[in-house]
Amino acid sequence: MCGIAGFVRLDGMALSRETDRRILRTMAQQLAHRGPDDEKTFLWTNVGLSFRRLAIVDLATGAQPLRSDDERLALICNGEIYNHLDLRSRFCSSQHFRTASDCEVLLHLYDRLGLAFLDQLNGIYAFALLDKRRQKLILCRDRLGVKPLFYYCDANVFIFGSEVKAVLAHPNVKSGFHWAEALSYRNSMNYPDRDRKLSSFFENIYQLPAGHVLEIDLASGAQKARSYWDPRSIRRDAEPAQDESVYIRRYRELLDDAVKMQLMADVECGIFLSGGIDSLAVARLASRHKAIHAFTVLSQSTITNGDAPTACAAAKFFGLPSHMVLYDWRELDLDPSLWRKIIRQVETPIAGAEQFYKFLLHAHARKRVPNLKVMLLGSGSDEFNGGYSKSAFNTPDGPSWAEFEKNLRYRDRESLLHRSGDWSAYANASLDDEWLISRDFLAEQTGAPPYDGAFDAYRDIYRHMLQMYQLWHEDRTSAANGVEARVPFLDHRIVELTYLVPKALHEKLFWDKAILREAMKPDLPDEFRLRPKTPFFIGEDLRYTRRLLYNLLCAHDNALLEEALVELSETARVVNKDVLWSLFKKLPDDPEYANVDMVLDLVNMGLLAAMGRTPLEACAWEGPLPVTEVAIDDWSAWRQKFGISLVRRAPTLDRDSVLCFADGIRIVCSEAGDPRLKEDGDYYILRHNALEFALEPQLKPWVRFLRHVDGAQSVAEILDEIGMSDAEVWKHLEEAVEYNVLCVVSPPEAGAQASWSAL
């Protein structure tokens, strides 16, 4: 993992050794975090290249730019060529190699095969290759877009870099924050659209799409971009359809080979072990090839949704050193400058808890194991194995493949309507799930070919989203800490295999990632292999993660909000300042803090807009990491002893506290046939007869506790009487006290029981 940047004078004028080299160094400095081990610049006539190196393979001689023996070719490359040894033996056995670097093989392959050599690569890469004889600069991005590459072009200069900030650092760049793109992205990202462009969130700065190559003629300034890989072009009839067991076996073989190849490193490797099937599969296979470290987020959310205990058990089962990294939302030092640094590094407004968790997890991993520079991830499995088929594109109750297909047809139609502009009553009229105006007509208006099936539309959504979200932030949060993120599930051979699966087998193999779960049957116990998908940190206790973000916004007298408002309401005049303040102040009124993401998105936009105006301004945060590592030998014992402390926050509440109900509180049970409530037998909390909280069915232990609150017994006495542990009710106790449902009384007050009745 490295950082590349450079520029071309499109008028052919030679670069200045002094002025332009200084610009190249400034651009490279913006990428210092990506490559802390070395920096080089290179000028040739009207081309300038800069490179920052993170030394992972060939630590001694792998410096870049790399050059051919005749000096005709020069290369800077961010990434890894996993099959470089095989390529050397097959195509370049007679060639002289100056280094043991995996990237040097690109020069010799290009010299022999031209750009057709791209078909031979297995790796993650974004590179710039200078061909002096042909007067060409060639930019290329790997097939799935694991490695980033941005560019800016005007009449005089073409500028590129691994990150937006490197492009912004060039004095010719005229760019501002793209408010319209940022404000509309969340609304549009879930619609299939094969031709959707990749935004950078900055005006006039673009991403080179995954699987694309761009040639620049150095003499004329002409540019030509083309796709060199697109899995949609894979013909399912290219080979006879196979039995599902054949695809499962081939999937297992390819995944094992991909994991083995991606452990290629002369440094230590780790894995983010979340507790889901994706990271469990990679960890299991990796543990058989190399000693690696496992790192897991330990928070109230990951404890409750089962990720943390599963990851803890799996690390022990696989024999991996386990690093459980504690994020205590009450105790974290949430310095606003830390978030400014994270936003500056990730360069996207769609940033929140996931980026916060992963940035600090990478930082802790690098500090804990200083020679660790490679981190394996489970990203890419959901996108091509159907991981969201039961959740994002289905009904919460009784999800099915039929409902999945129906939902994708709806999303496809919505996308066509957006693009065609046809929002008339005719286009929206339907009967029995069939529309009045045909899909074929709408597709004709937009030039969109029909999808062969729902799963094809699903993959189009996520091939785009991978580049705009998952791979974007996985790259930035790792690179910010001098770590390279690697993604075995995005080995192009695995992706191509999923495209070869005939439509008739889609439901069998891609419903809830069946192809992966079946492939790992020989390797994982069922408790790991069949564990239901749980989105990272999302679940019953999502509210605690949202409170962490709220605390971040509140830190230092709302410093982040105040700073963002300068851009939002004064410089850019994007939002109504009073409305945003009101939204922020009302966040604590909702126990779930549901709108915190919206407020944080707008704050992020303001911070990025400021970065666009002052791209060279560095972030000052250099504080200690606000997370700690916890040693856990016995999960159950640790959970009982320490787990409840993650939610304990009311200083007046402890096991000796005596509780009573606040004034006006009434707890009711709905009766059969009551039209106002969801299910008969469910419990609800009313305040002065107004419905305030619903007690979900899984909260029956909490209801049992509430039945014993009488203003006389202590918490400990009630727990002993009903035979419950602290951990079963404590977070609900804390919330009840915080939201004035229960009060801590001293001395005990008589007559403090709530009324219990049917509604």
**Residue in 171, 123, 159, 129 with CA at minimum distance from that of residue 144:** 123
d(CA 389, CA 514): 11
Residues 138 and 129: beta-carbon distance below 8 Å: yes
Residue pair 128/143 in contact by the 8 Å Cβ criterion: no
Q: Return d(Cα 712, Cα 657) in angstroms, integer.
A: 10
Phi, psi for 75 (deg, rounded to 5): -140, 135
Residue closest to 194 by CA, chosen among 500, 448, 498: 448
Question: Does residue 2 carry a catalytic annotation?
Answer: yes
- Report which secondary-structure segment, H or E, holds 661: strand 658-661
| Class of residue 381 by CB neighbours under 10 A (exposed 0-12, middle 13-18, buried 19+) | buried
List C-alpha distances in Å: 714 to 661, 729, 745.
13, 14, 10
- Which of 354, 355, 377 is CA-nearest to residue 489? 377
Contact 170, 152 (CB under 8 A): yes
Asked if 126 contacts 77 with a C-beta cutoff of 8 angstroms, the reply is: yes
Give residues with Cβ within 8 angstroms of 288, minimum separation 6: none
Q: Is 149 helix (H, G, I), strand (E, B) or coil?
A: coil
Closest CA relative to residue 343, chosen from 615, 2, 605: 605
d(CA 671, CA 345): 54
Q: How far is CA 723 from the centre of its chain?
A: 41
Asked whether the beta carbons of 266 and 288 are under 8 A apart, the reply is no
Between helix 596-613 and helix 336-346 the angle, nearest 10°, is 70
Choose among 135, 126, 141: nearest CA to 221: 135
> Could you identify the residue written with the tokens 């599902």?
244
User: Catalytic: which of 2, 92, 153, 743?
Assistant: 2
CB-based burial label for 556 (10 Å; 0-12, 13-18, 19+) = exposed
Q: Is the CB of residue 172 less than 8 Å from the CB of residue 48?
A: no
Write the DSSP assignment of 186-197 as a string of letters: HHHTTS--TT--
**Helix, strand, coil shares, percent, the chain, to 5:** 45, 20, 40
Distance, C-alpha 304 to centroid of its chain: 21
CA terminus-to-terminus distance, the chain: 62
CA-based nearest residue to 177, from 466, 559, 567: 567
Dihedral of CA 381/383/389/392: which sign?
positive
Please tell me the distance from the alpha carbon of residue 382 to that of residue 405, in angstroms, as a whole number: 17
Sign for the CA dihedral angle at 140, 145, 150, 155 comes to: positive
By the 8 A CB rule, do 147 and 141 touch? yes
Place of tokens 């229960």: 742
Closest C-alpha among 301, 302, 295, 303 to residue 640: 303
Torsion angle (degrees, nearest 10) of CA 24, 26, 27, 31 = 130
DSSP 570: I
Q: In this structure, how many other beta carbons lie within 10 angstroms of the beta carbon of residue 757?
A: 11
DSSP letter, residue 72? -
Any idea of the CA torsion for 501, 504, 510, 515, to the nearest 10 degrees?
Answer: -60
Which residues have a catalytic role annotated? Answer: 2
